[in-house]
Structure 1
Amino acid sequence: CDMWSAYRQLPKAKLVGCWAHVRRKFFEATPKQADKQSLGRKGLDYCDQMFSLEASWAELSSAERLCKRKERLAPLMTTFFDWCRNQSVLPGSKLGRAITYALKYEETFKTVLTDGSLVLSNNLAERAIKGLVMGRKNWLFSQSFEGAKSSAIILSLLETAKRNGLDSEKYLTYLLEKLPNEESFAKKAALEAYLPWSETVQADCK
């Protein structure tokens, strides 16, 4: 997550810090002409190492990825946070704010080390809701909880379809045409046939 304070009000929520936000702050604190030994570049390098490791484990199962994280990512994070604590920089500078941000939410950024199915960055999720964020000022009926819930359901369907390589318009049309005729609508097995990754949907909605 991006550390929005409202998240901490959610009961039983397990917050996972987004390392892309940490990296972005160090990137913004590093002048283009900065050499490789500059503090900003060093912080950026730590983040890049983490993302490089994660990329190399993309095809692993969650259990395998968790083992790799404990073996290689955890020590790297420890080194990074120790490095942050040992820096003497102006708190109000861009670099100071980047370091303060990382240390303030250290435990939240380490949550990713507890579960192999968690991700290092939520950039994918942020891109998925970009359409909602860009269009919300132009849409009606989302000033109520029910309106917002309806929008979330529809947009979740469409974005999930896109992520699974479907034509979102074809998929929505498919659902509207097929589901009303589904006699066993309440059965989980019947509904699974309409999920974006099912073989039938993949064949008909691309």
Structure 2
Amino acid sequence: MGSTIDLKIAGCWSHARRHFANVTKALGKEKAKGTLAEEALKRIAAIYKLENELQHLRAEERKQQRQLKIKPHVDAFFAWVKSHLLEVLPKSETAKGFTYCINQEKYLRVFLDDGNVPLDNNAAESAIRSFCIGKANWHLIDTIEGAKASAIIYSIAETAKANRLKPYNYFEHLLTEIPKHMDDKNLDFLDDLLPWSKNLPETCRK
């Protein structure tokens, strides 16, 4: 029997700030001064600033510091948003931003309880950007199995990059080592081939 994975949806603070950024962009910096949109951006920026100071910490330490330093700012942000919701026109961009934040509050708070969860999904979007740009070149992948195989390869490549490996060298190492174990029933050898394994050769590392 397979094990059940407990998945949680985490909100993206970059998306939360988007509507407010649209307001200041449309008005210009001078006209945007003193607006609720500008204040919202300042409050979100303060959360990002504190988060950036925790990047060097391990996950558990980051979680503790988030609870101690960032949670009060997050609590204050949502309290502030709710207190000003009725002060803006329902169809305005600022109102859309407020409504988005309120609807996503449960998900935007997830990062506070897990040091491994990032504040936004910018890194993930950056990772898939090259594939989106090159999608016109993928027309030859015209079967379900081909798409699955491609997804696996792309995932391995991006995981290698995230672990500061050279993708080409890493794939070369995999294709050299895996065939040596094709008849093995014990798959423990795969542990040494994972992107974060300390047993990978230095030629795979940046």
Output the TM-score relative to the length of structure 1.
Answer: 0.84
Q: Give the fraction of aligned pairs with identical amino acids, expressed as a percent.
A: 34
Relative to structure 1, is the Cα distance of residues 184 and 201 closer, same or farther in structure 2, using a 3 angstrom cutoff? farther
For residues 134-149 of structure 1, the aligned pairs below 5 Å read 134-140=133-139, 142=141, 144-149=143-148
**Change in CA separation of 1:97 and 1:153 when aligned onto 2, cut-off 3 Å:** same
Higher relative contact order (CA 8 A, sep 6+): 2
Name the structure 2 match of 1:15. 9
Q: RMSD in angstroms over aligned alpha carbons?
A: 2.3
Equivalent position amino acid for 1:171 in 2: Y
How far is the alpha carbon of 1:36 from its aligned partner?
4.4
1:83 paired to 2:80: yes
> Are residue 50 (structure 1) and residue 47 (structure 2) matched?
yes
Which 10-residue stretch deviates more, 157-166 or 184-193? 184-193
> Offset of 1:114 from its aligned partner?
2.1
Paired position in structure 2 for 1:25: 19
Structure 2 stretches of 5 or more lacking a match? Answer: none
Match of residue 164 from structure 2: 165
Runs (5+) with no aligned partner, structure 1: 1-10
Shift in Å, 1:69? 1.8
Query: TM-score, normalised to structure 2's length?
Result: 0.84
CA contact (8 A) 1:175 1:194 kept: yes
Change (3 A) 1:70 1:188: farther
> Is residue 74–residue 113 contact of structure 1 (8 Å, CA) maintained in 2?
yes
SS of the aligned residue for 1:201 comes to: coil
C-alpha distance in structure 1 between counterparts of 2:9 and 2:196, whole Å: 28
Count of matched residue positions in the alignment of Structure 1 and Structure 2: 196
Q: Helix, strand or coil for the counterpart of 1:98?
A: helix
What SS does structure 2 have at the residue aligned with 1:29? helix
- Distance apart, 1:144 and its partner CA: 4.8
Q: What are the Cα deviations for residues 126-179 of structure 1, in whole angstroms up to 9, with x where unaligned?
A: 111112222334313655543332121100111111222222112112211221
